[in-house]
């Protein structure tokens, strides 16, 4: 059974996200998003604890902290949708997201 996760959405509406394999299969179609995996849990227990997070700042950092239940560390972007063919890096500081998104949009390496 997958665990439920509550986090604030872009418009400050409450959103509920499922975590685990079910969450990975539930790809959002209405907004750009990344699937973030808690690598600490995955490495220790082989558990897929992750969720699709919107890539809109400033909400990304808050969503990430809610997903992990701690300050962001030990996480990776493992999939994305709505951002084109070039993948975001697996690891980056949440504050770098606006720059990375801008580079994706402009086609910069």
**Closest listed residue to residue 51, CA positions, set 8, 20, 81, 29:** 20
Confidence bin at 3 (pLDDT 50/70/90): very low
d(CA 58, CA 42): 26
The CA–CA distances, whole Å, from 14 to 7, 17, 58, 59, 76 equal: 6, 10, 16, 12, 24
Residues 19, 49: contact at Cβ < 8 Å? yes
Q: Quickly state the pLDDT bin for 49 (edges 50, 70, 90).
A: confident
Residues paired with residue 75 on neighbouring β-strands, in sequence order: 38
Mean pLDDT of 68-74: 86
pTM (2 d.p.): 0.74
Share of the chain above pLDDT 90, in %: 26
For the chain, the structural domain boundaries read 4-106
Asked whether 74 and 34 are in contact (CB, 8 A), the reply is no
* 42-to-20, 50, 84, 107 alpha-carbon distances in Å: 10, 10, 27, 32
The CA angle 95-67-47, to the nearest 5 degrees, is 120
Note the pLDDT tens digit of each residue in 9-33.
Answer: 333 333 445 566 667 677 888 889 9
């Amino acid at each position: 059974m997958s665990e439920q996760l509550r986090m604030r959405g872009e418009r400050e509406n409450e959103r509920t996200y499922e975590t685990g394999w079910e969450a990975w299969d539930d790809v959002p179609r209405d907004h750009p998003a990344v699937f973030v995996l808690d690598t600490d849990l995955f490495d220790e227990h082989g558990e897929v604890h992750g969720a699709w997070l919107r890539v809109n700042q400033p909400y990304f950092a808050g969503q990430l902290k809610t997903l992990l239940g701690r300050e962001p560390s030990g996480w990776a972007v493992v999939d994305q949708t709505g951002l084109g063919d070039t993948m975001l890096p697996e690891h980056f500081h949440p504050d770098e997201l606006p720059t990375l998104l801008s580079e994706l949009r402009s086609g910069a390496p």
